[in-house]
Structure 1
Amino acid sequence: MAAETDLITLGRRIRHHRKKAGFTLDQLGARVGVVGSQLSLVENGRREPRLVLLQNIASELGVPLADLLSGDAPDARTALEIELSRAQRGPLYASLGLPVVPASRSLPTETLESLVGLHRELIRRANRAVATPEEARRANTELRLRMRERNNYLPEIEKIASEALAKVGHVGGALTHRSVSLLAESLGFSLIHVDDLPHSARSVIDLENGRIYLPPASIPGGHGLRSMALQAMAHRLLGHQPPESYAEFLQQRLEINYFAAACLMPHDASVRFLRAAKERRDLSVEDFRDAFGVTHEAAALRLTNLSTEQLGLSMHFLRVADDGAIQKAYENDGLVLPMDVTGAIEGQLVCRFWASRAALHRTNRTTEFYQYTDTPGGTFWCATQTGKTDAGEFSISVGVPFAEAKWFRGRDTTVRAQSRCPDESCCRRPDDELAERWRDRAWPSARLHAHILSPLPQGEFPGVDTLEVYEFLESHSAT
């Protein structure tokens, strides 16, 4: 598209200077050695001219070659023509199956302005309607790969979080609700707990009145409230603007989650804690979790932020539903995750023999479950904890290659499994006798993973009912 756009601009600049010089297509073509119809293709951005032809055109028109190659439209009318041509060549317009309206000089300016305005609105609405399931999965895959390249570590956000905590005098230990409130005050906000938040929003920021609305403070434990408040503040500290694409929405969500984790488990205090545990060969998500008063999942994810850059350890993280489907995952240690043809991992089933699924069948789940698993990609050690929500059970796993298990508590486990996945004979393909017994005699109905397949509702902020939010703010602004 960028190349096509450049050709359109180039062609329009040639036409502008040709008409200014008083040449017809045939006249200029005769001077530069091409027929007028070929020159017309160049002016309409449908043929890329050779450099020699461009030099000859510039010479005959009496303008510098750099002038023809400029990326700017020569006048406002031409700028509209270029924008219309660009829009009609885009995939969005092509998907409508409508005829192309030539952006010619004979097109009345009022008509041209109307058409360009319609295309702008069409593109704006398409961007607001983020995202189709395919787009969502593709964007999520791209983000996961980028974070793997960075070892899941964002030093720029670590710095912002450290500076924010320094303002309220927090240096280590569990971050209190009071410290979170002080941090909000330092940014000019007060935390307000309400029981009528919009159904589509986890929190709402009132920029006009300096308020951050959160769920009721009576939520048991309140761990999530600290994180919600920090995530809301992160949007302001990180300078976020309303996302223009689903990929940008995902990036912003990752960044606010990272900021909240960096506040709840401060960088320097966390690194000191983890390095000391590594020296004792006693690294444990459970201890890390308890030291900073966070959830097991939050501690496990934070460990992936710091493990490679600060501890020299590559590792993986998995959150797996009770049916074996991946809900969230990260790896930079060579673990081969199941994925579809697009590279997406969300919703894919992990091997039945992996610790993340084996742990869900244990009777005693009060402590972590440890296991070594031999896979085609090598042997991995994993520590897994299980949990439960209204949506069902899940497991949280962190793991490392066999050689790195020596640093972790639970390395002496005797539990060992073997996985041949993605070979279907490992745990997915029924044996011949069972297959023969039930082939053509069964018709199951799949349980869909709605959170993976469903697009988010359209709106300025993906997934948020804007009208509901604005009505909520209006009702509270007078209090």
Structure 2
Amino acid sequence: MNSVAAIGRLTEPEAPGEQVDLDSAAPDPLTIGRRVRHVRQEAGRTLGDVADAIGISASALSLIETGKREPRLSVLAALAKVLDASVQDFLTATPPSRRAALEIRLEKAQRAESYESLGLPKVKIGPRLPMEALEALVGMHEAMASAQADQAATPEHARRANGELRERMRSADNYFGELENEAARLLKSINHPGGPISRAAIDRIAGHLGYKLVHTSDLPTSTRSVSDLRNKRIYLPQPEAGQHDSRSLAMQAVGHLVLGHRPPADYSEFLSQRVEINYFAAALLMPQKDTVSLLRSAKTAKDIAIEDLRDAFAVSYETAAHRFTNLATKHLDIPVHFMRISQDGVIYKAYENDGIVFPSDTTGAIEGQRVCRQWTARRVFEQPDLTKAYQAYTDTRSGTYWCTAVVDRTSAGSFSVNVGVPYQHVKWMRGRDTQERSKSRCPDPSCCLQPPTDLAGRWDGRAWPSARVHSHLLAAMPPGVFPGVDDTEIYAFLEKHAPAE
């Protein structure tokens, strides 16, 4: 091949006694063309006379200057000689001027397949195109490309967003004072006397904000709640799943209003808002003052139990476990970790500030990774009575941890909710006298990633499972402001339920 792009690391004579260093990556044809034009115009030469001087047609030189033809090295050498320049002047990757750089960016944008698919005419790029118009067109194309990239974000985008959010939570010990303060102010506004919050109190909170809670059986399946900002209504599902679920969903919807959320700009912001409303709802359902009081009494008695928090505030075990991680380090000086995993060990949610090492991928994300079979969060599924909390000690590569876990059965399957603390803090926890103990050697493959030798010997090469590939692992993130939500479905729902005007 004779093209500049194919030269690679070769060094070829430009002219007698002169060498061209092509060690660095060659620029693209469009940049080369703009540099050729720049050098020609600086020399005061016309397209026609330079073309005649090197023995090619003016149209051929024009194609080179517009980046539509990739020049051979011999042509560049001839151009350099005629224009009293060097080949290196043409092969510099940096455009010769700010205007040239913008022209190159606009040309590339208009040649992109995504622009071609729009069926729009191309703007002619030349000296008569005002600089301001050039700036605006380039900015518009790049903003459009950025928006398209966000819409087509792969699961890697989501994993990175999760990782960044987890770092934020860890740096704050999962305690956010501003959210606690907002929840406390709202409770004070309805003269809440303390303790568990009732359904009637939830209605009063919504009323204080000018909203009405409406339970309905036809909520769009892609949503957990829908807020009608025009008619001041919050639509919730019928509370068949338990009153605490209904209260939590209501307070999450209220959280968006109180915290002043706007439509998220990207998935990272969407995820951050979701964490904030979950925290805010838990701070309302389990007020900080009352929860900390209960926890401090339990610590004094060396009898902390997630089940007691669950029962005292009539919330789910998972909400109680989350709330414990909010308050344990800040108010009790106890570092903790939390997990929610599926029965096959895949992490759905996790948090730690106690040094435990979760499995992670190359991006640092832990969601979607599988935890060791020896961890308490997975061993709980092996117990004969899945209604009881299971406690155990696990020796891991980062230390010994005591954990308590329960099985949460849902319509989507069974999950394990796990809370753990380092060995030196187990003295505060109920269930520390357990005799259950295991050792995890992960990520050593011989721990649980590889089958036992005798089992592998009998079946290696004799099994062919048909894997269940989850389409969401390969698909782009759902498009739209609120991932996975169909706007048409939402608007039709609101239109149906809106009060007559």
| TM-score w.r.t. length of structure 1 | 0.78
User: 1:241 aligns to what?
Assistant: 262
Shift of 1:430: 2.2
Instruction: Give yes or no for the alignment of 1:198 onto 2:198.
Output: no
Pick which of 406-415 and 101-110 moved more. 101-110
Is the radius of gyration larger for structure 1 or structure 2? 2
Among candidates 144, 147, 152, match of residue 124 of structure 1 = 147
In structure 1, give the amino acid aligned to 2:423: F
In 1, Cα distance between the equivalents of 2:434 and 2:168?
Answer: 34
Residues 85 and 102, structure 1, Cα contact 8 Å, conserved in 2: no
What's the CA shift for 1:378?
0.8
Q: Specify the alignment match of 2:189 in structure 1.
A: 167
Deviation at 1:478, TM superposition (A): 3.5
Deviation at 1:357, TM superposition (A): 0.9
Query: Match of 2:147, as an amino acid?
Result: R
**Per the alignment, do residues 200 and 271 of structure 1 end up closer, same or farther by CA in structure 2, a change over 3 Å counting?**
same
Which residue is equivalent to 2:342?
321
CA contact (8 A) 2:152 2:477 kept: yes
Q: Does 1:366 align with 2:387?
A: yes
Q: Contact 2:99/2:131 (CA < 8 Å) preserved in 1?
A: no
- Give the alignment of 1:106-121 within 5 angstroms: 106-107=128-129, 112=134, 117=140, 119-121=142-144
The change in CA–CA distance for 1:452 and 1:144 in structure 2 (over 3 A counts) is farther
Is contact 1:365-1:386 (8 Å) kept? Answer: yes
Contact 2:222 2:485 in 1 (8 A): yes
Which of 98, 106, 110 is the matching residue for 1:44?
98
In structure 2, the partner of 1:275 is 296
Match of 2:171 in 1: 149
- Tell me if the contact between 2:343 and 2:416 (Cα under 8 Å) persists in the aligned partners: yes
Corresponding position of 1:332: 353
Provide Cα deviations, 1:277-303, integer angstroms capped at 9, x if missing partner.
Answer: 111100000001111110000100111
The CA RMSD over aligned residues, in Å, is 3.2
- Map of 2:369 onto structure 1: 348
Alignment of 1:449-468 (within 5 A): 454-468=475-489
Distance 2:479 2:324 in 1: 34
* Structure 2 unaligned blocks of 5 or more: 1-40, 45-84, 117-121
**Matching residue's letter, 2:495:** E
* Residues in 2 aligned to 1:95 and 1:332: alpha-carbon distance in whole angstroms: 46
Gap change, CA 1:443 and 1:312, over 3 Å in 2: same
**CA distance in 2: counterparts of 1:170 and 1:458, whole angstroms:** 41
Structure-2 change in CA distance of 1:350 and 1:459 (3 Å)? same
Cα distance in 1 for residues equivalent to 2:478 and 2:111? 22
1:400 is aligned to 421
Residue 136 of structure 1 contacts residue 246 of structure 1 at CA under 8 Å; is this kept in 2? yes
Residue 188 of structure 1: aligned partner: 210
Q: Aligned partners of 1:328, 1:301: CA distance in 2, in Å? A: 11
**Alignment size in residue pairs:** 411
Alpha-carbon distance in structure 1 between the residues aligned to 2:473 and 2:338: 19
Structure 1 residues 171, 390: CA separation in 2 closer, same or farther (over 3 Å shift)?
Answer: same
Q: Which amino acid aligns with 2:191?
A: G
Residues 382 and 93 of structure 1: CA distance in aligned 2, closer, same or farther (over 3 Å)? farther
Tell me if the contact between 1:130 and 1:245 (Cα under 8 Å) persists in the aligned partners.
no
Which SS does the other structure have where 1:426 is aligned? helix
* Corresponding letter in the other structure for 2:390: F
CA shift in 2, pair 1:97/1:424, >3 Å: farther
Deviation at 1:431, TM superposition (A): 3.3
In structure 2, what is the equivalent of residue 9 of structure 1?
none
Q: How does 1:404-443 map to 2 (within 5 A)?
A: 404-443=425-464
TM-superposed CA distance for 1:25, in Å, is 6.6
Equivalents in 1 of 2:156, 2:291: separation in Å? 37
Instruction: Tell me the equivalent position of 2:201.
Output: 179
Hey, what does 2:253 align to over in structure 1? 232
Q: Which residue matches 2:404?
A: 383
Tell me, yes or no, if the aligned pair for 1:130 and 1:462 is still in contact at 8 Å: no
In structure 2, the residue corresponding to 1:260 is in which secondary structure? helix
Residue 44 of structure 1: how far off its partner (Å): 2.1
Q: Distance in 2 between matches of 1:179 and 1:93?
A: 60
Is the partner of 1:156 in helix, strand or coil?
A: helix
Residue type matched to 2:249 in 1? M
Go from structure 1 to structure 2 and tell me whether the alpha carbon gap of 1:149 and 1:110 turns closer, same or farther (over 3 Å shift): closer
Q: CA deviation at 1:42?
A: 5.7
User: What does the per-residue CA deviation read over 1:211-267, in whole Å, with 9 as the maximum and x for residues that have no partner?
Assistant: 111112x42422111111111111111111111111111011111111101111111
* Residues 102/253 of structure 1: CA separation in 2 closer, same or farther (3 Å cut): farther
> How far apart are 1:93 and its partner, in Å?
9.5
- Are the equivalent residues in 2 in contact too, given 1:373–1:380 (CA < 8 A)? yes
In structure 1, what residue type is equivalent to 2:353? Answer: N
Q: Give, in whole Å, the separation in 2 of the partners of 1:190 and 1:349.
A: 42
Task: For 2:470 and 2:315, locate their aligned partners in 1 and report how far apart those are by CA, in whole Å.
Answer: 27
Mean Cα deviation higher: 278-287 or 173-182: 173-182
Distance 1:225 1:337 in 2: 32
- 1:87 and 1:119 in contact (8 A); partners too: no
Q: Taking structure 1 as reference, are residues 214 and 25 closer, same or farther at Cα in structure 2, changes over 3 Å only?
A: farther
Query: Is residue 498 of structure 2 the alignment partner of residue 477 of structure 1?
Result: yes
| Residue type at the aligned position of 1:164 | L
Q: Is the 8 A contact 1:189 1:210 kept in 2?
A: yes
> 1:219 matched to which residue of 2?
240
> What is the distance in 2 between the residues matched to 1:130 and 1:253?
21
* Alpha-carbon separation, structure 2, partners of 1:473 and 1:413: 53
Contact 1:189 / 1:212 at 8 angstroms: preserved in 2?
A: yes
Residue 412 of structure 1, CA deviation: 0.9
SS of the residue corresponding to residue 235 of structure 2 reads strand
Unaligned runs of 5+ in 1: 1-23, 28-33, 48-80
| 3-state SS in 2 of match to 1:212 | strand
CA deviations 1:177-211 (Å, max 9, x no partner) are 11111111111111111121122111111111111
Q: Which AA in structure 1 matches 2:210?
A: G
Tell me how far apart the structure 2 counterparts of residues 130 and 256 of structure 1 sit (CA, whole Å).
26
1:347, 1:449 within 8 Å by CA — same for their partners in 2? no
> Which letter maps to 1:286?
E
Distance in 2 (CA, whole Å) between partners of 1:240 and 1:274 is 31
Residues 157 and 446 of structure 1: is their aligned pair in 2 closer, same or farther, counting only changes over 3 Å?
Answer: same
Q: Give yes or no for contact 1:381–1:400 (8 Å, CA) kept in 2.
A: yes
Change in Cα spacing, 1:143 to 1:220, as seen in structure 2 (3 Å) is closer
Structure 2 contact 343–415 (Cα < 8 Å) conserved: yes
